[in-house]
Amino acid sequence: MLTAERAYVSAHPGRYAATVGAEFTGPDDPLLAAGTRVIDSIAAVLRGYRIGESEMNHAIRSIRSTMHGFAMLEASRGSSGMPIRTRASSG
C-alpha cells in the first residue's frame, strides 16, 4: 500500500498536492469520493492486521500522516541525502 502511494505521488505530484487540504464543495464532490476510497482502502489493509474498529481512526490517521510526511519529504528532496534501503540491503 505504501509503495503504491509513493509511486502515485512521484508520478503525479501536482495531483497529490491538489488534494492536500482541499475543501469539499458538497457530498457530490469527486475529491470527497476519492478520499473516501483511499480511507476505505487503508482501513481494509489495517483490518488484515486485526486493528479493532475502536482504534481504526487512530490507525488510519497514523498511516496517512506517515505516508504524507514521506511523500512531502521526497517531493521536496528533503530525504535526498538518505539512501533508500531495501530489505535485502538492510541486513
- pLDDT, tens digit, 9 for 90 and up, residues 31-58: 888 888 889 999 999 999 999 989 999 9
pLDDT averaged over the chain? 83
Q: What residue ranges define each of the domains in the chain, with the CATH number in brackets?
A: 2-21+28-79 (1.10.357.10)
Closest by CA position to 19, among listed 1, 4, 32: 32
- Judge if pTM exceeds 0.85: no
Which residues, 6 or more positions from 51, have their beta carbon under 8 angstroms from its beta carbon? 59
